[in-house]
A and B are shown apart, each in its own frame.
Chain A
Amino acid sequence: MNARAALAATFFPFHGGVHPPEHKDESSGSPIVAGPIPATLVVPLHQSIGNMAKALVNVGDVVLKGQMIAAADGTVSAAVHAPTSGRIVAISPQRVPHPSGLLEYCITLESDGADRWIERTRFDWRNADGRAIRDYLRDMGVVGLGGAVFPSHLKIGGAKDGLDTLVINAAECEPFITCDDRLMRERASQIVEGIKILQQLLQAREVLIGVEDNKPEAVDAMRAAIAGCEFKIDVVVVPTLYPSGGAKQLIKLLTNKEVPSGVRSTDLGVQCFNVATVYTIYRAIEHGEPVISRVVTLTGNVERPGNVDALIGTPIADLLAFAGNKADSDSYIYGGPMMGFEIPGTDVGLSKAGNCIIAKSSGLFPPKPAEMPCIRCGKCADACPAELQPMDLYWFGKSKNFGKAQERNLFDCIECGACAYVCPSNIQLVDYFRFSKSEIWAAEKSKKAADQARERHEFRQFREEREKREKAERLAAKAAQKHEAAASSADPADAERAAKIKAAMERAAAKKAEAAAQAGESAAPADATAAPVTEAVAAPVAEAAPVSQLDPEKAERIRAAMEKRAAEKAEQEAMSPEEKAAREAEKKAKIEAAMAAAAAKKAAKAAEAAKAQGDQADGSGA
């Protein structure tokens, strides 16, 4: 134990970080209380990264608490459940907690006040195979509750020979947020049960729970709860420094492994789960409870700051009323003050990502002073946990030099806001980075579209060329046959020559076929332009052939080429308009088929990418 305790004290600091005022005391003292059962709930269908869940109910349906009302759509998606019993009154686009203010499909549920559960059964995970467990978690709607809402089932399985380290993200580094803190203090044993399940599922050799040192009670509770665990598990207390709750920062802190962008932490033998997610995994597996509620911190300019176990879909207005919203609150932050965003209105329903709601007042959040020019003081670079040079990225973004920004690893920016926090010139650096990123995405999208158009065009050119060639070869072969027949009938002396001709032609055809095959593999246009050129060059030489005694093989090749050209011409002239149209149609169909295949491939790739990205996203910013 002592050796382990000493080990547990070691952590590996990451570069940068800031220490904004914590504001945790307001809410950390109040135990979790059950939230209100609102008259109507607005449950967003898009509750995870990936595809929106598909509604399973219709308007007018009566549902029970915990009943699945929308099923996961595809691999990267998670199911959505009725948070309470009642009647579905609408399935329509509504405002959701999202910075863009976009409308998304939500299921509006009128609660009947009875809060009646469906029948729940314990899941026998010990006797289930990996696939069944994944499907179960997906159907229980388990997603990362740290804010990234990455479907948890995608993080289970994968590493064949087990995981080096399972990291439990309990750092909760954002100011104001205390929901994980309270959860650990009050439900540590259930969390540890969840950890045990995950440790088994992932075959983790070691479990490290990272907690910031401003939560001593949570540390004690967790330490007490892990006592007697039969595998290697430790609570590692890390210094309070934002953003130590970023998944990558925490992994670095606990394991000294740096996960580069675009690499899945699993590839380095580490997997990270938010502590609240672990709790819901436990509830889902051992109690058959889907994710229909979450603990959310209500704080800021409210009478009774605290933590509420609130039903998903509870309108923010109801939560604020529950906490005693003060009159001078002017807007509301969803998430923490460093990475959260202002909600478009209080009618939106709580989502699984909603770990905190801060009522803002000008007293609590004084308006930011005007931006001044960057003086290149380097404070932002000192604070950046991604070890970027934010002032350069800012400059590139401002001068619309997006390529350069990308070159300087703009996409490694986790938008933690540490740089903007320290900037003496009050520059809203993160905004510039978001802008640059969106511009690059837009450009990439249009570039992709252009690429597709170009590919389509090239593909068509290639086809045309190939068809032409194939037809010409067929015709040439026919002509040669005729020629041969004529030759054999006329003069036996010529027969030998005819045989030679045939052999030469076959060789030529073989060569052509080979070239075509190659062209099919490499760039099509090169072939398309190359073919006519050689033929054009060949033509004048062929005329001279009978005069100068060229070696017969070469002469034959030339003649074959000339014949082919003639045949090509003839064929083109002979083609009726109907034939031409038919050929066009055929080509079109083929292109469309090819495009469809490409689209399918792309979709598969996108899903794959989302998976890779989300893999590390869970627990970030918590």
Chain B
Amino acid sequence: MNTSPFFIKPTPLQVVMFKVALALVPAIAVYTYSFGIGVLVQITLATIAALVTEAFCLKLRNYPIKPFVTDGSAIVTAWLMALSFPPLAPWWMIVVAAVLSIALAKHMYGGLGQNTFNPAMVGFAIMIVSFPAQMSRWAAPFGVLPQSLDWSAQLSWIFTGHLPAGLAFDAIASATPLDTVKTQLMQHASMSHIFQSPLFGSIGGIGTEWITAAYLLGGLYLLWQKLIPWQIPVTFLAVLGGVAGIFHLVDPAHYTSPLFHWFSGAAMLGAFFIVTDPVTGPTTPLGRVIFAALIGLLTYLIRVFGGYPDGVAFAVLIMNLAAPFIDQYTQPAVFGRKGQQKKAGAQS
């Protein structure tokens, strides 16, 4: 500490990561309340697998293990990924996903801060591409079906694949609201008919609308703590909602409302926790807006016209690729050079 500044603001990385994790807690609580202990199991498995992989990779790369393992970044990755997984996915799936996301998406690119792609989304995307059936088998939230799995049955199913005698998983499985809308529409069911299903609440899915609301709450906390720039969630949600709104206005029988798009699937989680990942997004103010807007657009297109029920993960990964490019072309003018920047930009 021989050079200026001799002061630093005491907000270490760990604190930042801790606060992000803290912001996820309300959603985790609601999620567990609605879907059962499976949620916590997935989170725990992902966390352990991510930390072990992180330590292993650091050791391989001759990095100091302690400060990096404890920086909190692997935990945040693990949680975000686990929250994207079906709560009753077999145990090995989340473990494989966590290992891959840390080893492949993070350390192969040079570790914290150097990854091109959002590690949590990489883990999720690999699994949904490789195991589409398992990854779309969600149990219905509590209260939707007459029968639900208690905690021991959930554990047994996750770890051994066995259910209590006389119960088949199909009996308790259900598609997600986004998925239901998509497949039912393809079977030419009418929108009002689809929404009569017990799966749907007033604006999103039963249970899921509360989970997404909890993400929103966590997101507001992050905004308040100035940990994420408000432009990103606002732009993302505005574009997603805006496009949805246009389609919905033109043809309400075939296109769901903006509210539905906001409160279903990973929209809120994405808006505040994933699109805002600083490492894999642009850093310029204008770049962030463009980035978030395009993710919003892509999310809608994939959801409605693409092959997957939810589009956030793929939209994010696609735009991750474009982030450096966006940065390059959105460099803000520096102090005293506002007028000149046009020329400089045209040259570069």
B16: Cβ under 8 A from any A Cβ: yes
- Residues 1-35 of chain B, each 1 if its beta carbon lies under 8 Å from chain A, else 0: 11111111101110110000000000000000000
Residue of B279, B335, B340, B348 near A376 (CB, 8 A) is B279
Q: How far is the CA of A15 from the CA of B348 in the complex (A)?
A: 24
Q: Would A431 and B337 count as touching, CB distance under 8 A?
A: no
Q: Which residues of chain A from 297 to 348 have any CB-CB distance to chain B below 8 Å in the complex?
A: 333, 335, 337-342
Query: What is the bound-complex CA distance between A80 and B193, given in angstroms?
Result: 92
Residues of chain A from 357 to 372 with CB closer than 8 A to chain B in the complex: 360, 365, 367-370, 372
**Cβ of B332: which chain A residues have Cβ within 8 Å of it?**
387, 389
Q: Are B8 and A339 in contact (CB under 8 A)?
A: no
Q: Does B113 contact A (CB under 8 A)?
A: yes
Interface residues of B in 317-348 (CB under 8 A from A): 327, 331-338, 340, 348
Structural contact, B337 and A368, CB atoms closer than 8 A: no
Contacts of B8 in A (CB 8 A): 368, 420-421, 423, 426
**For the complex, is A377 an interface residue (Cβ under 8 Å from B)?**
yes
Q: Which residues of B contact A377 (CB under 8 A)?
A: 16, 278
The answer, yes or no, to whether B71 is at the interface (CB within 8 Å) is: yes
Q: Which A-chain residue is minimally distant from B228 (CB atoms)?
A: A377
Chain A residues near B111: list those with CB within 8 A: 373
Contacts of B108 in A (CB 8 A): none
Interface pair B331/A389, CB less than 8 Å apart: yes
Stretch in contact with the other chain, from A132-140, A378-386, A465-473, A587-595: A378-386
Task: Please name the residue on chain A nearest to B348 by beta carbon.
Answer: A407
Nearest CB to that of A339 among chain B residues? B4
Q: Do A424 and B13 contact each other (CB < 8 Å), given the known contacts A360-B6, A387-B333?
A: yes
Interface string of B294-338 (1 = CB under 8 A from A): 000000000000000000000000000000000100011111111
Closest beta carbon of chain B to A245's beta carbon, Å: 14
Q: A261-B336, A389-B331 are in contact. Are A424 and B12 (CB under 8 A)?
A: yes
Tell me the smallest distance from the CB of B203 to a CB of chain A, in Å. Answer: 33
Tell me the bound Cα distance from A45 to B276 in angstroms. 54
A577 at the B interface (CB under 8 A) = no
A420 CB, min distance to chain B CBs, angstroms: 5
A391 at the interface (CB under 8 A from B): yes
CA distance A407 to B332 in the complex (A): 13
Contact with B along A388-419 (1 / 0, CB 8 A): 11011000000000000001110010010110
A425: chain B residues at CB < 8 Å are 12-13, 113
Distance in angstroms between the alpha carbons of A389 and B285 in the assembled complex? 11
Is B71 touching A337 in the complex (CB atoms < 8 A)?
no
A105 to B21, alpha carbons, bound, how many Å? 58
- Say which size band chain A's interface belongs to: 35 or more
Contact B7 A424 (CB under 8 A): no
Taken together as a complex, chains A and B put the C-alpha atoms of A594 and B28 apart, in Å, by: 78
- Residues of chain B within 8 A (CB-CB) of A365 are 1, 6-7
A263 interface residue (CB < 8 Å to B):
yes
Residue with the greatest number of chain A CB neighbours at <10 A, chosen from B5, B7, B114: B5
A342 contacts which chain B residues (CB < 8 A)? 2-3
Please tell me which one of the listed residues A372, A408, A415 contacts residue B112 in the complex, with CB atoms under 8 A apart. A372
Shortest distance from the beta carbon of B4 to any chain A beta carbon, whole Å: 5
Decide: A15 and B284 in contact? CB cutoff 8 A. Answer: no
**A492 interface residue (CB < 8 Å to B):** no
Cα-based distance from A543 to B10 in the complex (angstroms):
88
Q: Which of B279, B337, B338 has the most CB of A within 10 A?
A: B337
Q: Is B283 an interface residue (CB 8 A)?
A: yes
Expressed in whole angstroms, the minimum distance between the Cβ of A418 and any Cβ of chain B is: 8
User: Is the Cβ of B7 less than 8 Å from the Cβ of A175?
Assistant: yes
The smallest C-beta distance from A536 to any residue of chain B, in angstroms, reads: 42
- 15 A-B residue contacts at CB 8 Å? A20-B9, A258-B338, A335-B4, A339-B4, A368-B8, A369-B12, A372-B112, A373-B113, A375-B112, A415-B4, A420-B5, A421-B5, A424-B13, A430-B4, A434-B3
* Besides A342-B3, A425-B13, 16 other A-B contacts (C-beta < 8 A): A18-B9, A335-B4, A338-B6, A338-B7, A340-B4, A341-B2, A367-B1, A378-B278, A388-B334, A389-B284, A389-B331, A424-B11, A426-B8, A428-B3, A430-B3, A434-B3
A residues neighboring B (CB under 8 Å): 14-15, 18, 20-21, 99, 175, 248, 252, 258-261, 263, 333, 335, 337-342, 360, 365, 367-370, 372-378, 381, 385-389, 391-392, 407-409, 412, 415, 417-418, 420-426, 428, 430-431, 434
Nearest 6 CB-CB pairings of A with B:
A260-B336, A417-B5, A373-B113, A258-B336, A337-B6, A377-B278
